[in-house]
Structure 1
Amino acid sequence: MKPFIEIAGVSGTVYRFQWVSGPSRLPATAGNFIFFRSAPDGDEIVCCGTARSLVLAATAWERARDQYGAASIYVRLNVSRAIRSAEHQDIAARQAPMVTITELD
């Protein structure tokens, strides 16, 4: 896995996400998350979302892994709810993931 990836939003803004080795390694900090799976044309986004604590994304990860074949987790630490929500909407509009999660509380 690449330690960092950059994902563009519909606005053209590019957001940097960091790889997490598994759900037990998710930080307790608020932020955005993206789950990827391998595809013939390269990795594709299965799910993107936000959480007040990224630890809460572990349940969504299990579902994405089991139902859609998600294979990697990337996170972006983002304490401000308004900013992570705006970034999430920007990314989801451009990337059109299979699943979007607006805020895990």
Structure 2
Amino acid sequence: MSEFIDLRGASGAAYRFRRADPAALPATAGNFVYVREEAGEPEVVCCGTALSLTLAADLSRNMKDRYGATDLYIRLNVARAVRLGEHQDILEHSKPPSSFDEIG
């Protein structure tokens, strides 16, 4: 998959996420998505928000085993209201089988 993906929300807004290594995540707050490739396109299998993106790494093995996730993408969002608003928008559009509101 590519280094960046743009995900649409139910509102029509696009959100750019950067691929990340679960072992080297920043301690910054933000949004994250686990994806798998489906017909050459990223399919969101989990989306969430975290006070520290390092906590998203704990989900890595479960997302891989349970949903076939191949990649983790992150979006830095320090402002809680922005983080949660974007999460809800993506959640409503993507309807992934798993989601997490504000872990940490």
Q: TM-score range by the shorter chain?
A: over 0.9
Letter in 1 for 2:42: D
What TM-score does the superposition give when structure 1 sets the normalisation length? 0.93
- Please state if 1:79 is matched with 2:75: no
Identical pairs, percent: 48
User: For 1:33-72, what aligned pairs fall within 5 Å after superposition?
Assistant: 33-40=32-39, 42-72=41-71
- Please state if 1:101 is matched with 2:100: yes
Structure 2: distance between partners of 1:103 and 1:65: 21
Per-residue CA deviation, residues 30-49 of structure 1 (Å, 9 max, x unaligned), is: 00000011224633111000
1 or 2, which has the higher strand percentage?
2
What TM-score does the superposition give when structure 2 sets the normalisation length? 0.93
Aligned counterpart, 1:30: 29
Aligned counterpart, 1:8: 8
Per-residue CA deviation, residues 28-75 of structure 1 (Å, 9 max, x unaligned), is: 110000001122463311100000000000112221111111100100
Instruction: Specify every segment of 5 or more residues in structure 2 that has no aligned partner in the other structure, as ranges.
Output: none
Paired residues, what number? 104
Letter in 1 for 2:98: V
Aligned counterpart, 2:19: 19
Structure 2: distance between partners of 1:12 and 1:38: 22
Moved over 4 A (4+): none
